[in-house]
Amino acid sequence: MTSLVNIAGVLAFAAVVAAMVAVGLRLFIPAEPQGPSTARLPKGRRRVRRLLAAAGVLAAVALMSLAFEVRFAYGAPHGQRGDETVEVVRIGECGGPSVLRFGLARTCELRSYRVEGVGADDYGSIDVISGGALRPGDRVAAYTASGWGSSVLFGADGTRWHPVEAEGRPDLAWLPTAVLVATAVGWQALDRAVSRGRSS
């Protein structure tokens, strides 16, 4: 199973690199070197291409933000669970991502928690990412992603705290990378369609 995950990680990374190279080549090298240059395009069509490029950037940012929220709200924690599981005692402020907020996932600060097997409360700063509201008594743990598959997926590396009850959900760590690739391919297809229509 680990081999399949590594192979999938390599393929996903190769797809991302290929998409980025294709978009870069499309931006800086004409599709038809012997054909009419971009400067000879009708003014309206040049404007459409500029608007398409701006819309592509905005769409990529919005869709990536949404993909991360869907992953954290409906997906399982990615990585290995640490040895320490803590029980929520008191919850501080909760908020969403800093760029765009779709309201699917939230990050809550634990101001007081109890380590399992220890009677006293621990006070510190633990940020827990979840899809629903945290309540006193919930169990949370730190999950650390490692390995080749995790290192090539966007946002899949590092250590994050998640509710333990989310372990039964599907692993959606691949979703942001897939969304980025799909956005790049879709933008390139639209741009090519606009460029090919220049003779009409």
> What distance in Å separates the CA atoms of residue 92 and residue 127, rounded to the nearest whole number?
10
pLDDT, position 20: 59
13 and 51 belong to one structural domain: yes
> What distance in Å separates the CA atoms of residue 143 and residue 159, rounded to the nearest whole number?
5
44 and 8 belong to one structural domain: yes
67 and 92 belong to one structural domain: no
pTM, 2 dp: 0.70
34 and 11 belong to one structural domain: yes
120 and 39 belong to one structural domain: no
| pLDDT at residue 119 tops 70 | no
Q: State the residue range of the domain holding 18.
A: 2-74+177-199
69 and 87 belong to one structural domain: no
46 and 62 belong to one structural domain: yes
87 and 159 belong to one structural domain: yes
88 and 24 belong to one structural domain: no
68 and 135 belong to one structural domain: no
Number of independent structural domains in the chain? 2
Beta bridge mates, 198? none
97 and 160 belong to one structural domain: yes
- The length of the chain in residues reads 200
pLDDT higher for 140 or 25?
140
> What distance in Å separates the CA atoms of residue 125 and residue 96, rounded to the nearest whole number?
17
62 and 37 belong to one structural domain: yes
| pLDDT at residue 24 tops 90 | no
